[in-house]
A and B are shown apart, each in its own frame.
Chain A
Amino acid sequence: GDSVTQMEGPVTLSEEAFLTINCTYTATGYPSLFWYVQYPGEGLQLLLKATKADDKGSNKGFEATYRKETTSFHLEKGSVQVSDSAVYFCALSKSGGSNYKLTFGKGTLLTVNP
Chain B
Amino acid sequence: DTGVSQNPRHKITKRGQNVTFRCDPISEHNRLYWYRQTLGQGPEFLTYFQNEAQLEKSRLLSDRFSAERPKGSFSTLEIQRTEQGDSAMYLCASSLTSGSRADTQYFGPGTRLTVL
A28 interface contact, C-beta 8 A? no
**Nearest opposing residue in chain B for A107, CB measure:** B42
Number of interface residues of A (CB under 8 A): 27
Contacts of A102 in B (CB 8 A): 33, 35, 43, 45, 93, 105
B108 touching A43, Cβ below 8 Å: yes
| Whole-angstrom CA separation of A49 from B42 in the bound complex | 17
Chain B CB within 8 A of A32 CB: yes
Name the residue of chain A whose CB is nearest to the CB of B42: A104
Q: Is the CB of A101 within 8 A of B40?
A: no
Write out the residue numbers on chain B whose beta carbons fall within 8 Å of the beta carbon of A42: 109
> Is the pair B45, A103 in contact by a Cβ cutoff of 8 Å?
yes
Give the secondary structure class of A's interface: strand
Tally of B interface residues using CB under 8 Å: 27
**CA–CA, A93 and B35, complex, Å:** 14
Give Cα A46 to B50, complex, Å. Answer: 21
Q: CB of A95 within 8 A of chain B?
A: yes
Do the beta carbons of A106 and B107 come within 8 Å of each other? no
**Which of chain A's residues have a CB closer than 8 A to the CB of B105?**
46, 93, 100, 102
B contact residues around A46 at 8 Å (CB) = 104-106
- B→A interface (CB under 8 Å): 4, 31, 33, 35, 40-45, 48, 50, 55-56, 91, 93, 95, 97, 102-110
Please report A residues at the B interface, Cβ cutoff 8 Å. Answer: 4, 32, 34, 36, 42-46, 49, 51, 89, 91, 93, 95-107
